[in-house]
Amino acid sequence: AEYENILVEQREAVTLITLNRPKALNALNAQVLADLIAALAAFDADASQGCAVLTGSEKAFAAGADIKEMAEMGFADMYGTDHFAGYERITATRKPVIAAVAGYALGGGCELAMMCDFILAADTAKFGQPEIKLGVSPGMGGSQRLVRAVGKAKAMEMCLTGRMMEAEEAERAGLVSRVVPAADLVEEAVKTAATIAGMAPLAVKANKEMVNAAFETGLAQGIQFERRLFHALFATMDQKEGMAAFVEKRAGNWTGR
């Protein structure tokens, strides 16, 4: 298959998917989503493939949802189409997907990494939910998954201040399984994926399913709740201001409206 914004490569039983919008730091637009969903569905359906690795570039796993695509959207665009609900289809993949994160994993990028089954981080990785700086909030599960991954205190601080968490802190907090030198990241992720791909396929599916069952109780409602509020923020003037300010490279001027 041909994809516009990702590269897909098979290394024996491992499917390596690389986000490939380098000029926008892999910002997640509608085409990236369509490509990712198609590639993961093809991976899931291909009996020769046992585990996938999702990675970005050295500089950015993904710097978030595409702010330029969202800047002019309002509540009707967001709620009317249930914008970003499509990303949840990534979690429907029944075989494991490992996120290999180097550089920025911000906003939707952090949320995308957390949708994978676990995160392997380069020592250069930086995680954050900076949406509040744009006058909005996480909208792809971040407020729910981050709390479950690192606990309320760190998640709340990160969502309210937008500060980034470096790889070492992320490992200590339980957001990532391991930190490896940046130069070894993809190789190490592919090696780990190959180990998984070498296990019994049904056991792999069952293990993934049961670990997720422990993690997800109540999650669906949490995500639904988050998405409605995220959409509602697109009815505010501060969302327009925050995103316009980003595009114009200046500080936001909030009105609280």
Residues at the contact surface with ligand HXC, assessed by CB under 6 A:
24-25, 27, 63-68, 84, 104, 106-108, 130-131, 134, 138-140
Whether 72 is catalytic is no
Q: Which sign, positive or negative, has the C-alpha torsion 156, 159, 164, 170?
A: positive
Closer to ligand HXC by CB, 11 or 246: give it.
Answer: 246
Closer to ligand HXC by CB, 163 or 172: give it.
Answer: 163
Whether 170 is catalytic is no
Catalytic residue among 111, 171, 188, 226: 111
CA 173 to chain centre: 18
Shortest reach from residue 253's CB to ligand HXC, in Å: 17
The answer to whether 75 touches 231, Cβ cutoff 8 Å, is yes
The Cα angle at residue 143 between residues 217 and 132, in degrees rounded to 5: 170
Shortest reach from residue 250's CB to ligand HXC, in Å: 13
Shortest reach from residue 183's CB to ligand HXC, in Å: 20
Whether 189 is catalytic is no
Catalytic residue among 65, 100, 149, 167: 65
Whether 108 is catalytic is yes
Residues with Cβ within 8 Å of 207's Cβ and at least 6 positions away in sequence, in order, are none
Shortest reach from residue 216's CB to ligand HXC, in Å: 19
Q: Which helix (H) or strand (E) holds 241?
A: helix 237-247
Q: DSSP assignment of 130-174, as one string?
A: GGGGGT----SSHHHHHHHHH-HHHHHHHHHH---EEHHHHHHHT
Catalytic residue among 50, 56, 108, 242: 108
Residues labelled as active-site residues: 65, 108, 111, 131
